[in-house]
Amino acid sequence: MGLFSFITDRVKSFFSDEPATPEEADHSGFFTREKVIAFSAALFISISLWLIVNLSRDFNVTIQVPIQIVNLPDDVALSNDVPEYASVNLTGEGWKLIPIYNNPPRISLTAESQEINLFDQMRNQVSAFSDLNVQQVDPLSIRIETELKATKRVPVYSRVELNMRNRYGAVQAPVLEPDSVTITGPESRLADISRWETAEVELRDVSSNVERTIDLRSSGSGIRVEPQTVNLRVEVAEFTESEVRVPVRTRNLPSGEAVTFNPSSITVRFDVPIDKFSEVQESRPFTAFVDYAALEADTTGFITPQIENSQEDINVRVRSFRPTQVSYFNIVQD
């Protein structure tokens, strides 16, 4: 068999789906590998040629270049916001753009600098790469302003929203640990900060104790917050409903005065943790009172009592009370 016939048979068999004869079965593995190698080589050559041809053309790309402040004294802080990145639009051959796209240069600014032209800064950085042109820089310029650094301790304000499952509630107010953070930055900016918020978090269908880490709000540039997270703890219990009869009393009653209410007591409906239900039944967890000053200011003859929890160690929550108003009259003593 001639060389031409051998090559022709190989090409036909490469694209043929006909089953091999018994004589060819022993060589099927070899021919399969031959096909894979030939195809892979052709694919590699094709891709290489495509890259050589296309990456020789001019392209336009936008890269994010980091901005860093150097040589900032320990007792000095930035008093204005400096962007972390500049958006730079470049043109040039594809081969020249690949290295700078994968590893963008940095724009280093000193604390003594004032108005900085980022276009000029970036053009100087790119000058090390031949045949690359800077078309646009955003922002075009920035200003560096500094002042003395200050430190301040402020409380943490929770932005965590707890949505409890029906009949469940928090036994006590949610606890944040730590309950305050240290902020460091320029004096003028810290002067107006009285608290630091957590990130907004929503917890849904809560029916068990909560213990998780919550991020604090981002500080942005110029201000550092320590720590950057707090621990949230919430004790959760299932509540049940109860009611109790509470007498109405007068507070701050002057000597020699007496006030009678009608009715003399009200019924308070409230929620209580199930595990505290028996304990509450054996006591009176509320007091109902009317301040004497409110009686003197009233002209209707009816007054709304105030309800106060008399057992702070048990989390009871007033649902309603009736009647909502009581009448009253003064007893004149002889």
Domains of the chain, CATH where assigned: 3-54 (no CATH), 58-144 (2.170.120), 154-234 (2.170.120.40), 239-331 (2.170.120.30)
Taking the C-alpha atoms of residue 216 and residue 227, their distance in angstroms, rounded to an integer, is: 9
What would the DSSP string read from start to end of 253-300?
PPTT-EEEEESSEEEEEEEEEGGGHHHHHTS--EEEEEEHHHHHH--S
- For 137-165, write each residue's pLDDT tens digit: 888 888 888 888 899 999 999 999 999 99
- For 193-219, write each residue's pLDDT tens digit: 999 999 999 999 999 999 999 999 987
What would the two tokens of residue 51 be? Answer: 């890259």
Contact 157, 195 (CB under 8 A): yes
Q: What per-residue confidence (pLDDT) applies to 78?
A: 81
Can you tell me whether residue 209 is helix, strand or coil? coil
Q: Give the up-direction half-sphere exposure of residue 164: CA atoms within 13 A in the CB hemisphere.
A: 17
Q: What per-residue confidence (pLDDT) applies to 146?
A: 83
Which residue is associated with the tokens 């690359």? 132
Average pLDDT over residues 224-241: 94
Q: What per-residue confidence (pLDDT) applies to 226?
A: 94
Taking the C-alpha atoms of residue 18 and residue 66, their distance in angstroms, rounded to an integer, is: 61
Contact 109, 72 (CB under 8 A): no
Other Cβ atoms within 10 Å of 288 Cβ, number: 19
Strands 258-262 and 210-215: unpaired
Taking the C-alpha atoms of residue 324 and residue 283, their distance in angstroms, rounded to an integer, is: 22
Q: What per-residue confidence (pLDDT) applies to 1?
A: 45
Binning the chain into helix, strand and coil, the percentages to the nearest 5 are: 25, 45, 30
The two counts, helices (H) then strands (E), for the chain are 8, 25
Angstrom distances, CA of residue 120 to CA of 153, 159, 241, 299: 41, 44, 72, 78
Q: What per-residue confidence (pLDDT) applies to 193?
A: 92
What would the two tokens of residue 203 be? Answer: 């917890």
Taking the C-alpha atoms of residue 210 and residue 234, their distance in angstroms, rounded to an integer, is: 5
* pTM of this prediction exceeds 0.85: no
Q: Give the up-direction half-sphere exposure of residue 314: CA atoms within 13 A in the CB hemisphere.
A: 24
Q: Higher model confidence: residue 174 or residue 28? A: 174
Please confirm whether the linkage preceding 73 is cis (ω < 30° from 0). no
